[in-house]
Amino acid sequence: MAENTNRLWLWSLVGLVLLGAVVGFYVWLMTPPPGRLVVRTVPNGVSVRVDGDLKGVTVDTGLVVTFLETATHFLELEKVGYVVDTTTVYVALDEVLELQMVMKPPGMVFILGRTFKMGDDGGAYNEKPVHRVTLSPFYMDRTEVTVEAFRKFRRAYAPPFSGDTMPAVEVTWEDAQAYCRWAGKRLPTEAEWERACRGTQGSPYSFGNRFDPQRARIGFAMEAGPGKVGAFKPGNGGLYDMTGNVWEWCADWYGRDTYRSGRGENPGGPKTGSHRVLRGGAWYSKPQYAKCTHRPGNIQKTKDVSFGFRCVKEVE
């Protein structure tokens, strides 16, 4: 009698186990896989928080975060030397969402590396011929370097125009380059400057295909002087004052025939020369001399009240 009872108990237990396994398998079969978020960043090494919780640091293959329910999540991305970035994502179960984020240094914008047409066949001799140039991605200062910023580098700097937010001018090419290096940056190449000015659509002005006096400080009397940086709406890529205000130093030596012999990938201009490249026009320029493609070849001063600059930075 006891033996039969034990057998009955054993078979009941086996039945329960089998039933549990069947139910578990059914639940597993009917439950969709978890949602996955793959976060990739430029550069790598970015800490990622999801809804306040640290999930890890990005690498080349991306940071994978799994979710067991469909929901909206708040992301915070942080790395020393870059602006904290935030975004909101909606991740559903059985979904793989890939997110690419570009971190930005303070006061800079990201310019996507790409192949673009440089020059203007309808422009001056030194703007011809139009040729294809391929650039690596880079960061560029959102504005021209200001008096306030330059004074942090050189306390004795005495600008010709008052105001901390005025562009730093009467700065030699050497001083501009030294400032950029001090800030962990460099001067842009002529190709980088033109690519940033023209934007992804290749416009002749930094704000579009036609000159607009409401978008740039151009056509004023010489004595009027430049304006505060960022006084006009931003143009291509979120950059300010690429058209007008003050001329901007570039890294290259100027060459009249550069476009006829220059490299097509990350060109750096001639190896020697008598003066450096200036771009963008100044407050007293005519619109045609402030086009993104214009290359003044007759400016050989070492510094001037209308010469300013901005910096770029390599992408890690």
Q: How far is CA 189 from CA 90, 151, 152, 251, in A?
A: 40, 24, 24, 5
Q: Dihedral, CA atoms, 227, 231, 236, 239, nearest 10 degrees?
A: 80
Output the pLDDT for position 163.
96
Per-residue confidence (pLDDT) for residue 261, from 0 to 100: 81
Q: What pLDDT, on a 0 to 100 scale, did the predictor assign at position 3?
A: 58
pLDDT band of residue 299 (cuts 50, 70, 90) is confident
pLDDT over 60 at 276, yes or no? yes
Q: Which of 192, 198, 200, 77 is nearest to 141 (CA)?
A: 192
Could you please report the per-residue DSSP string of 114-126?
-EEEES-TTS-GG
pLDDT class of 26 with cuts at 50, 70, 90? very low
CB-CB contact of 140 with 239 (8 Å): yes
Q: What is the pLDDT of residue 300?
A: 86
Q: How many CB atoms within 10 Å of residue 9?
A: 10
pLDDT in tens, 75-134: 999 999 999 999 999 999 999 999 999 999 999 999 998 899 999 999 999 999 999 999
| Secondary structure of residue 307 in the 3-state scheme | strand
Looking at the chain, which residues constitute the CATH 3.90.1580.10 domain(s)? 108-314
pLDDT value for 263: 73
So what CATH class is 108-314? Answer: alpha beta
β partners of residue 97: 37
Work out the mean pLDDT of the chain and round it to a whole number.
91
pLDDT at 28 over 60: no
Domain ranges in the chain with CATH number 2.60.40.1120: 35-102
Average pLDDT of 197-206?
A: 97
Topology of domain 35-102 in CATH is Immunoglobulin-like (2.60.40)
Share above pLDDT 70 across residues of the chain, in percent, rounded to a whole number: 90
Residue 27 pLDDT exceeds 90:
no
User: Partners of 141 in the beta sheet?
Assistant: 108
The whole-number average pLDDT for the span 297-313 is: 94
229 contacts: CB under 8 Å, gap ≥ 6 = 143, 144, 146, 165, 166, 167, 240, 241, 245
Task: Sheet containing 63-67: give its strands across.
Answer: 63-67, 35-42, 96-102
